[in-house]
Amino acid sequence: MKRILRRILFIGAALVLALDAWLYLPGFLSGPQELTGETEVHFIDVGQGDSILLLSGGQAVLVDAGTAESGDTIVRYLEELGVQELYAVVATHPHADHIGGMARVIEAFPIGHFFMGRETANTATYGNMLDALEARGLRPTVPQPGDVLPFDSGASLTFLGPDDDVSDSDLNNRSLVTLFQAGGRSVLLMGDAEAAAERSLLNHYPLLSCEILKVGHHGASTSSSEEFLRAVRPSTAVISCGVNNDYGHPSPQTLENLSLAGVDDVRITAESGTVVLPLDPLPSSKENAA
């Protein structure tokens, strides 16, 4: 009982930190900032789970940490890239295939900011993450839609959802959805968000689009509706899932929806392993005119 109460109090402290000094609200569609550093997105192969590394100008942000079995894999991958600290970490939602390796990551690297949703879970995996945060003295921040984390390079990570119109009856739909922007390029990270969350995003951000889409819920049929895909118009889609997984991910329906929406470049970690996509800045209008 004491352990559960401590966790509840710990989360309560996080909830009052919804806005921090580094967050700002510029309007993510106001135009790209000049990019001053090399930028890449790594969709790490963690089997049936998610873990995405954003690198820009020497700063690293990790979004999710796969399963408990993949914790060491993620730490080793980051260390091999020369990552010594994490500017920020995002736990999209408290499911074991997204936060399973989080305690290991927290133990291994200094972390500047830690983001999580207000939803909790009565699981050992979630408790291990909270214990690791407390041991590190990290107080998590619950971001609000529209909050932006700026990188020194000019890149940014915008929290788009979930908004209040998304029911908390399904943790998948309460995933933190983020948009990574760098030099006119954009990557939409959907967590496990499904159709209800997709409708909310289009309602609140009717002009939302992206070049690269991290497909929601590992390519399940409950995500990536044709309407959503046609609206955001990605040219590349990445699906993170395990080889011969028990869920049949990615769903044939999702693959068909991607095809119908004109997304010809589909990368699946179960087939190709870790996917690394460099984000070179788009030419400026001055360069085009030259």
Tell me if residue 43 falls in helix, strand or coil. strand
Going by C-beta distance under 8 Å and a sequence separation of 6 or more, which residues neighbour residue 141?
Answer: 14, 17, 18, 20, 113, 114, 115, 116
Going by C-beta distance under 8 Å and a sequence separation of 6 or more, which residues neighbour residue 43?
Answer: 51, 52, 214, 238, 240, 267, 269, 274, 275, 276, 277
Where does the pLDDT of residue 10 fall: very low under 50, low under 70, confident under 90, or very high at 90 and above?
low
- pLDDT(7) > 60: no
| CA end-to-end span of the chain | 68
Where does the pLDDT of residue 5 fall: very low under 50, low under 70, confident under 90, or very high at 90 and above?
very low
Q: Tens of pLDDT along 131-169? A: 999 999 999 999 999 999 999 999 999 999 999 999 999
Distance CA 11, CA 259 (A): 42
User: Mean pLDDT across the chain, nearest whole number?
Assistant: 90
Q: Tens of pLDDT along 71-130? A: 999 999 999 999 999 999 999 999 999 999 999 999 999 999 999 999 999 999 999 999
Q: Is the pTM of this model over 0.85?
A: yes
